[in-house]
Structures are given as C-alpha cells and as structure tokens.
Amino acid sequence: MKKMTKLLALLLALTMLFGACFAEEAAEETAEQTEEAAEETAEQTEEDAEETAQQEENEPAERVVLMTLGGEPVYQDDVEYYSNLTYMYYSYGYLDYYYDNLDSLQYVLYYGVAPKLLLTDEDVERILGDSYDTLFADYGTEFDGYVAQQIETIKSAEGYSGTDEEAEQEALQYFLDGGYTRDLFIRERLLDDAYRAYLADYEVEIDDEAVMERFLELAEQDRAAYENNIADFDRNVNYMGQESYYVPEGYRGILHILIEADEALLSAYADAEEGEAKAAAAQAVIASVQDTLDEIYGAFEAGTPFEELIAKYNVDPGMTDEETLAKGYLVHKDGILFMPEFTQGSFSEGMDAPGDISAPVVTSYGVHILYYLRDVPSGVVEFTEEIAQSLTADMKNELVYNDIVEKLRQFEVVYFPAYDEFIGEPNFLDK
C-alpha cells in the first residue's frame, strides 16, 4: 500500500508538470512525444518506488515505547532482551530464576534509566576521576573496532562493489540505525561505569546486630522450607548451589571407589527385573571384578587410608576434587541426587559410624565401595565471618536499591498503551 501511494503521488506531479508546459495549440503536435516521455518516466518512477519500498523493508522497525520516566523512554526490546537472556541461562541450568517482563523492566529502570536521571556529565567526570580520560579513549577505540568489523562484513558481502568510503558510511549508518553514534556509545559506557561506582560508594550504615537478626531470620526460613523436605534441599542446595543457613538432619559425607566393570554385564544388570534376577545380575558384575575388590579390602584392612585407595583404583572424576574429598558426597536416605543403590549402600548394614566401608554396591556405572567419612552437622549453620560479610553486602544493596527507587519516584511517569499489553501490572515506581 505504501509503495502504491508513493507511485500515484509521483504520477500526479508528472501530470501537473505537463499541463503547465504545453499550450493547447501545441497539444496535437507534441501528444506522441509526451506519451512516450510519460511512459518512460512512469517506468522509471515505478522502479524508484520499488527501490524505496525495499529500503523501507530493510529499515529497522520503529521501537515500541512502554513508558517514559523523567522524559527518558523505556523500550520494549530492551526489556525483552534481559528477559530472553536470563531465560536462556535458566533453561541451561546456570540460573535458578529468570527475569520475567516485569523483572526485566525494573532492571532497565534501575540500571538503564536511573543513571541518566541521577548523574550529570559533571558527576561522571568527578566519580571516574583520573580514569576518565583513559576510559574515554578506550571506549572510542572499542567503538572504532566495532565499526571496522562492520566495514569488513559489508565489503566481504557477495557482489559488493562500493568504495571504502561508502562501506564506512554504511557501517556508521548501521550503528546509527541501532541508536548509536561514537559519542553516544562512549558516553553511555562512561555513565555505566560511573553509576556502578556511585552505587558501590553509597553510604549506608548496617550494624552487627541487624546482620545477626537477618541471619537468624533466613535460617528460620530455610528450616521451614527444608526440615521435612529433603528432596527440595537436595535439588535447590546440593544440586543448584543455593545458599541455605539450615541443614536437615540425617546427611552423611560419603567417599567411594568406583571400579569399571564389563559393559555387557552392566547392561544385563540394568535390564534385569527387580528381585532374584537383579540380585543375580549384580553378583555377576561383582564376580567380574572380584580380584580388584579383594585387593582394595585387603589394603584397607591392613591400614591403607581410603583416600590413597581412591587415588589408585577409582575412576569417578568427582573423587579428584579436593573439596569433595574433604567433605564427601552429601547423601541422605531420602535424597534424590544419587542412584538408589548408592543411597541404600550409604546406609546399609555395616555402615554404622564414620570410618566404616560398605560391601560392594552395583549401579549402572560399575561397582562401588563406599566409605562413611562423616556425619554432616544439622541445624543452623555456623555464623562465620564470610556469612557476615555476604549478608552485610546484601543488606547494603537492598537499602541502596530502595533509596534509588525512592529517588526515581520523584520523576514523572507516563505509561503508553504498549505497557498494559506487554507488562500488564504495576512496577516498583507505583507505590
């Protein structure tokens, strides 16, 4: 439709031109020439219109504005970027959360819009101090590098025949279409550095009593969540690495030696039905490595430390990690992280106290000898200096965050129709 509108407008201008140029008495004499010229011009006009339409198709779509804060626009694509990025990491298991659209909006407001509203150019120079000039030059060089890469991409495109100057202009236009000039790129990078320094140097007082109170509060929350829910503790803390200030009762630290066994025998064991067939298949696997088992048990009974036997016989790479060797795998009889046979073997007959070893345990990985290393202390964890520092930092960040939000609430907020469609709920600026 846009293509056709442009074409009709050009043809109308052409008709008006011919009407002004030719008098009535010359109309018959020049009619043929005029028709031919009009046809040629119309063909060229149509080609020009098609080219214009193609250029418009290649131009970036107009960015959708969700809202403005203090006159600064917040774009939907910026919010989507953080939401998609964190969801990708969440999907791969690198994060135990992701930013939904509202979370991402608030991130953009806090880290993207707030610096522009709270810091002037003079503030940026003052905060960065002696490093300002160096950073300014470095970011200029960085931008020039991106432009150089884009120039090479343009010049290496199949069929490209433009000059170096034309490629450079096209590259600069590429970044301009994305909203960036060299000066703006430098300014935003400097502003980001200054804002993060501004947040880090924020003066907030947090006393030791408040930190201890927070620790006990979080420990109680963890107790309520995990005391009777070993599966969640295994999943969230032992697997995902979340912090917990409470450990449920019943965990043991287990070391083991994994011995390789014949793959055919292990496959037969995995396929065997529970009961006598499973037990027989397990005995066949054990018999295939009996000589190695005899060596290990004999050496252990003779006083060889289990850790030395791990180094000599084990094939599980997890047992090469120093922290794991010091603490063991954390195993609970109701846990979900280990093979059922491994878990049952960790609490089997003869595994009564630290220092005990198990009878051979068969899993689909091979044959295991388990070593009862320790009982894991249960209850509220020890309040260490490391925990105190971590909580202090978290509490400071919370106070700074709340203070910045209060400052942002002093600026005018204008919501656009796209906000309701894309976000659909209040953000932290709405008290």
Q: Are 53 and 91 found together in one domain?
A: no
pLDDT tens across 345-390, in order?
Answer: 999 999 999 999 999 999 999 999 999 999 999 999 999 999 999 9
Predicted confidence at residue 23, as pLDDT, reads 30
Tokens of 250: 């019943």
Q: Residue range 111-136: average pLDDT?
A: 96
In whole angstroms, how far apart are CA 182 and each of 72, 120, 205, 361, 374?
A: 20, 19, 40, 65, 60
Q: Are 182 and 99 found together in one domain?
A: yes
The answer to whether residue 241 sits within a structural domain is no
Q: What whole-number distance in Å separates Cα of residue 340 and Cα of residue 363?
A: 8
The answer to whether residue 9 sits within a structural domain is yes
- Per cent of the chain over pLDDT 90 is 79
User: Which position has the higher pLDDT, 97 or 324?
Assistant: 324
The answer to whether residue 430 sits within a structural domain is no
Q: Are 113 and 71 found together in one domain?
A: yes
pLDDT tens across 206-219, in order?
Answer: 999 999 999 999 99
The answer to whether residue 211 sits within a structural domain is no
Q: Are 41 and 92 found together in one domain?
A: no
Predicted confidence at residue 203, as pLDDT, reads 86
Q: Are 88 and 53 found together in one domain?
A: no
What pairs with residue 256 in β-bridges?
370
Who's near 381: CB < 8 A, 6+ residues apart? 219, 244, 245, 246, 247, 387
Predicted confidence at residue 241, as pLDDT, reads 87
- Position 338 confidence tier, pLDDT thresholds 50, 70, 90: very high
CATH number of residue 287's parent domain: 3.10.50.40
Q: Are 273 and 305 found together in one domain?
A: yes
- Position 43 confidence tier, pLDDT thresholds 50, 70, 90: low
Give residue 213's identity as a one-letter amino acid code. E
Check whether 20 has a pLDDT greater than 60.
Answer: no
Q: Are 292 and 317 found together in one domain?
A: yes
| Location of structure tokens 């209850």 | 379
Q: Are 265 and 352 found together in one domain?
A: yes
- Within 13 Å of residue 419, how many CA atoms lie on the same side as its CB? 16
Q: Which of 24-28, 81-85, 187-191 has the lowest mean pLDDT?
A: 24-28
Q: Are 50 and 122 found together in one domain?
A: no
Check whether 7 has a pLDDT greater than 50.
Answer: no
- Per cent of the chain over pLDDT 70 is 86
Predicted confidence at residue 10, as pLDDT, reads 30
Q: Residue range 5-9: average pLDDT?
A: 28
Predicted confidence at residue 61, as pLDDT, reads 67
Torsion angle of alpha carbons 74, 78, 79, 81, nearest 10°? Answer: 180
pLDDT tens across 270-321, in order?
Answer: 999 999 999 999 999 999 999 999 999 999 999 999 999 999 999 999 999 9
Q: Are 303 and 335 found together in one domain?
A: yes
Range of the domain at 22: 2-58
- Within 13 Å of residue 233, how many CA atoms lie on the same side as its CB? 26
The total domain count for the chain is 3
Tokens of 314: 């084990």
Tokens of 208: 């030791």
Q: How many Cβ atoms are within 10 Å of 268's Cβ, its own excluded?
A: 16
Q: Are the C-beta atoms of 262 and 288 separated by less than 8 Å?
A: yes
pLDDT tens across 207-259, in order?
Answer: 999 999 999 999 999 999 999 999 999 999 999 889 999 999 999 999 999 99
The answer to whether residue 140 sits within a structural domain is yes
Q: Which of 43, 58, 73 is the last residue of a domain?
A: 58
Q: Which of 58, 79, 103 is the last residue of a domain?
A: 58
The answer to whether residue 424 sits within a structural domain is no
Which of 9, 13, 6, 8 has the alpha carbon at shortest distance from 52? 6
Tokens of 151: 């120039």
Q: What whole-number distance in Å separates Cα of residue 151 and Cα of residue 320?
A: 49
Q: What whole-number distance in Å separates Cα of residue 369 and Cα of residue 292?
A: 11
- Position 14 confidence tier, pLDDT thresholds 50, 70, 90: very low
Q: What whole-number distance in Å separates Cα of residue 362 and Cα of residue 256?
A: 12
Which DSSP string corresponds to 45-99? HHHHHHHHHHHHHHSPPPPPEEEEETTEEEEHHHHHHHHHHHHHHHHTTS-S---
Q: Which of 183, 203, 223 is the last residue of a domain?
A: 203
Taking all residues of the chain, what is their mean pLDDT, rounded to a whole number?
Answer: 87
Q: Are 72 and 21 found together in one domain?
A: no
Check whether 22 has a pLDDT greater than 80.
Answer: no
Check whether 422 has a pLDDT greater than 50.
Answer: yes
Which DSSP string corresponds to 336-388? SSS-HHHHHHHTSTT--STT-BPSPEEETTEEEEEEEEEEPP-EEPP--HHHH
Q: Residue range 137-149: average pLDDT?
A: 96
Q: Which of 2-11, 23-32, 366-375, 383-392 has the lowest mean pLDDT?
A: 2-11
Q: What whole-number distance in Å separates Cα of residue 114 and Cα of residue 400?
A: 13
Q: Residue range 3-19: average pLDDT?
A: 30
Q: What whole-number distance in Å separates Cα of residue 39 and Cα of residue 85?
A: 54
Tokens of 308: 């030395």
The answer to whether residue 217 sits within a structural domain is no
Q: Are 39 and 70 found together in one domain?
A: no
The answer to whether residue 167 sits within a structural domain is yes
Tokens of 71: 């006159």
Check whether 178 has a pLDDT greater than 50.
Answer: yes
Who's near 254: CB < 8 A, 6+ residues apart? 328, 329, 330, 331, 346, 370, 371, 372, 373
